[in-house]
Structure 1
Amino acid sequence: MRIEFTGEYAALMGGYVAFRQNLGFVMPESSQRWLRHMADLLYTMPLISEVIDMERAEAIASRREGESDVTRQSRFVVLRQFCLYLNRIGVGAYVPPAGQVRARSEFVPRIVSEREMARIIEVAEGKALRWPPMVLKILWCTGIRIGEAAALTVGDFHRKDRSLYVAHAKSDRSRIVPVSESLAVDLGEYVDARVPGGDSCRWLFPGRDPGSHRSKVAIGNRLRGIYREARVLTDEGRPIRTHDIRHSFAIATLEKMVEQGRDVYVTLPLLSAFMGHANICDTEYYLRFLPSAHRALVEQEAPISHAVFGDGAL
């Protein structure tokens, strides 16, 4: 969706959005709304030769009341990219330094072990409903987001290729996710039992209202009770978040890469694409949870360190 801009800066804002989209980048509606807010703010300021100078950039990037670090950082990225675009087309603009605004987070995900996940699935399979264990198996074996799983159709599951097509996911990105042979068998049996004839347009996890799929909130609420019953809890005694399963998948995959002797930094782009990350930095975040990755990096750098420093201690 493209927002219509009005006023003195409409051509510049609209031109920037079109430029990004023509390069293949997604311009979420939220980013376009921030651009429109930026235009409104610039309109209240006196005209100068530069559209955005340092003072204006700092005013635009300043924290709004009640704004989170993450939202402020996202606005700053849009501001900086817009300033780079202005310079590209010959319109003067101050470009704020990269990293000037950063979101700080102390959050540490709750990592789910294979044994804990087996316990969760065992509890789910003991219930009358057939869809919760299927959702859990998909999340654990593919690492896709709960919202992506909720929106899967029968046609998104390709038995022959053993893959799932995740359409228009976060940031409007689509991707193909391979599935294991065992998951493909379970999915095939689930589809055959729930959707006779295999209508490709039917939802894998239909909602109560005709033509709708189960929402991620409804799925999350149902799964939370299963986590509690399986006694897979946080340190505070609360059920884990469903998104922790995605974190656990990423970390387990990286751990396996290290054990296989692969260069983690070479394989990171593959995992990034697999998980649908918009930026490889989102995937690199998981490296800090891998003690084995730290050991492997030290071992890889050992010959260089020896050549530079020799055997002496610093």
Structure 2
Amino acid sequence: MLNDKEFRAFQEGIFKIYFEKYIEFKRGKGEKVTRSTLIRLKTLNQELTLACDSLEISREVAEFILREREKESPASRGLRISDFRQFSAFLRSLGITSYEIPRKYMKKVYVPFRPYIFSEAELGSITRVADQLRQGIRSQTHRLVYPVIIRVLIGTGMRIGEVLSLKIQDVDMANQLLIVYKSKNNVSRYVPMSESLSATIAKYLSRIQNRNEPQQHLFISPYTGTGYSYDAMKYMFKKIFSIAGIRTPQGRLPRIHDIRHSFCTASLNRMLESGMNLYTAVPILAAYVGHVNLSDTERYIHLTEHGYSDFITKESRLGSLIPEVCDEN
């Protein structure tokens, strides 16, 4: 359910209840719904309230909302179109008539971005900080949970939403696997764990109260009685990064997702250093981290020291042999 503040943002309009259901649906899949996303959805709700007389989104209404706007950046427009397209598809899945956004609107927008890549020493530092959480931590549960969450992120490259969505039943200790159900792009997969991570998870399971309740979240917030929120993670990880003294070259604190970038980059480097070629390594890495499109994994190649220009040159000869997949986000 939305909290009181979030619910007030959608108090008016015939689509209000469907925005609430849509947000619950996204969170149920383990996707983060950030404050900026909520603001965009609130604006979309207001526009639909003014434009629609009934619970139906016509082509005319959709094209009016999707029109180009003065001084709007390509990135902002791309996010707005993506929000509308996904919400429209959600309505159709419920049997509500809503215009299907044509492909001409779904243009890829290039946004210059370079993630922060943690060194092994820095990853060790943030792990130690998590292990030593003492002052200012109101709950003993936090001191138990965060060291494990950090090790799962570092050791598997999973998305934070995937980690927070894990249930007790998703841990297969016999086969040293974590099971991810219907994550981004509706992909489910098995995530192998190392011996050390398996030992960490086993110890954690032995210490938590809900270990015999398979449907319960693996990591339960002591404040809500359910899984941790992404906002809670952002707050604590910023604190951990700050205590560890880790900042980007621009002076900002890294993002949680930068741990995933670091995992992918380090894994790709290790595979290449072992003698594996890029055309073998990239599909393996893509399957492990849950990418449905190889181009998602190719983003990590420029962060390695190996053969990027050679890969791009050879890839250009493939032409249409590799089908494109529309990015759901």
Q: CA separation in 2, counterparts of 1:294 and 1:44?
A: 45
TM-score (norm 1): 0.65
- 1:44-83 equivalence runs, <5 A: 63-64=68-69, 69-70=74-75, 72=77, 75=81
CA pair 197-275 structure 1, distance change in 2 beyond 3 A: closer
Higher-Rg structure is 1
| 2:222 aligned with 1:208 | yes
Q: Which runs of 5+ in 2 are unaligned?
A: 1-40, 86-101, 135-142, 316-329
Following the alignment from structure 2 to structure 1, what is the Cα–Cα distance between the partners of residues 270 and 235? 31
* Residues 42 and 114 of structure 1, relative CA distance in 2, 3 Å threshold: same
CA distance in 1, matches of 2:71, 2:172: 45
Pairwise CA distance, 1:68: 5.5
Q: Give matches, 1:188-199, under 5 Å.
A: 188-195=202-209, 197-199=211-213
Residue 107 of structure 1 and its aligned partner are, at CA, apart by: 0.9
The 5 Å alignment of 1:66-215 reads 69-70=74-75, 72=77, 75=81, 101-128=107-134, 129-195=143-209, 197-209=211-223, 211-215=225-229
Q: Is the 8 A contact 1:111 1:247 kept in 2?
A: yes
1:104 is displaced (CA, Å) by 1.2
CA distance in 2: counterparts of 1:269 and 1:66, whole angstroms: 40
The whole-number CA distance in structure 2 between the counterparts of 1:277 and 1:66 is 34
Q: Pick the aligned partner of 1:223 from 234, 237, 243.
A: 237
Rounded to whole Å, the distance in 2 between the matches of 1:136 and 1:175 is 20
Q: What does the per-residue CA deviation read over 1:223-280, in whole Å, with 9 as the maximum and x for residues that have no partner?
A: 2101111111112322211110000001111111110111112231221121122321
Distance 1:191 1:291 in 2: 39
Would the alpha carbon gap of residues 257 and 61 (structure 1) be closer, same or farther in structure 2, given more than 3 Å must change?
farther
Task: Give the whole-Å Cα distance in 2 for the aligned partners of 1:155 and 1:120.
Answer: 28
**C-alpha distance in 2, partners of 1:96/1:117?**
41
Secondary structure at 1:164's aligned position in 2?
strand
C-alpha root-mean-square deviation of aligned residues, in Å?
Answer: 3.6
Greater CA drift, 163-172 or 63-72: 63-72
* 1:255/1:293 contact within 8 Å kept: no
Give the unaligned 5+ runs of structure 1: 1-29, 46-55, 79-94, 302-314
Secondary structure (helix, strand or coil) at the match of 1:108 reads coil
Q: CA deviation at 1:199?
A: 2.4
The corresponding residue for 1:291 is 305
Mapped to 2, the partners of 1:227 and 1:210 lie a distance apart of: 25
After superposition, what is the alpha-carbon deviation per residue over 1:173-208, rounded to whole angstroms, capped at 9, x for unaligned? 221111111100000001101136532222221023
Q: How many residues of Structure 1 are paired with residues of Structure 2 in the alignment?
A: 241
Task: Give 3-state SS (helix, strand or coil) of 2:190's partner.
Answer: strand
- Tell me how far apart the structure 2 counterparts of residues 69 and 250 of structure 1 sit (CA, whole Å): 28
Contact 2:205–2:211, Cα closer than 8 Å, also in 1? no
Structure 2 distance, partners of 1:123, 1:71, is: 36
Following the alignment from structure 2 to structure 1, what is the Cα–Cα distance between the partners of residues 233 and 242? 15
1:177 is paired with a residue whose SS is strand
Does the CA contact (< 8 Å) of 2:168 and 2:211 recur in 1?
A: no
Shift of 1:150: 1.1
CA distance in 1, matches of 2:306, 2:221: 43
CA distance in 1, matches of 2:181, 2:70: 35
